[in-house]
């Protein structure tokens, strides 16, 4: 391989790497959206004065999660370590969500002092996944 061919191959590889990096950023938006929907859902379920909070908020949240899933499935590629980041985020989200709902419904019904911080705790895993993805897909510093 001549020097010119080697340089062309390196430039092509860098171009591909940059395109893959840029196209993997979508997961940050997905995760941030998931976190926002989570905050709204937990607040509605916890602070609404009757079971109607869950009846109204849950289908809306499911519709939001479904829209995010369709968005996710239409992306041409996934960021590096996507499966591990997503599964870790969803695992911690599930644990926080169940804990906040169970404890809040039994011990703190309607208490903003519980539900507001609880909603933010539930949203931490997807927000952390968004920040991690942004950091991993950022432009390399020279």
Q: How far apart are CA 4 and CA 108, in angstroms?
A: 69
pLDDT digits (tens, 9 = 90+) for 29-66: 999 999 999 999 999 999 997 888 899 999 999 999 99
8 Å CB contact between 47 and 112: yes
Tell me the domain boundaries of the chain.
Answer: 3-136
DSSP code at position 109:
T
Q: Judge whether residue 85 has pLDDT over 70.
A: yes
Whole-structure pTM value = 0.85
Phi, psi of 80 (to 5 degrees): -60, 140
């Amino acid at each position: 391989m001549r020097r010119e061919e080697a340089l062309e191959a390196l430039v092509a590889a860098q171009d591909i790497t940059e395109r893959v990096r840029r196209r993997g950023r979508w997961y940050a938006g997905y995760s941030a959206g998931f976190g926002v929907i989570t905050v709204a859902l937990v607040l509605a379920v916890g602070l609404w004065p009757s079971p109607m909070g869950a009846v109204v908020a849950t289908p809306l949240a499911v519709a939001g999660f479904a829209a995010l899933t369709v968005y996710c499935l239409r992306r041409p590629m996934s960021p590096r370590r996507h499966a591990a980041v997503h599964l870790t985020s969803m695992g911690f989200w599930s644990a926080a969500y169940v804990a906040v709902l169970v404890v809040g419904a039994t011990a703190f019904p309607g208490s903003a002092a519980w539900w507001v911080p609880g909603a933010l705790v539930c949203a931490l895993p997807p927000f952390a996944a968004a920040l991690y993805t942004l950091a991993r897909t950022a432009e390399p510093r020279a």
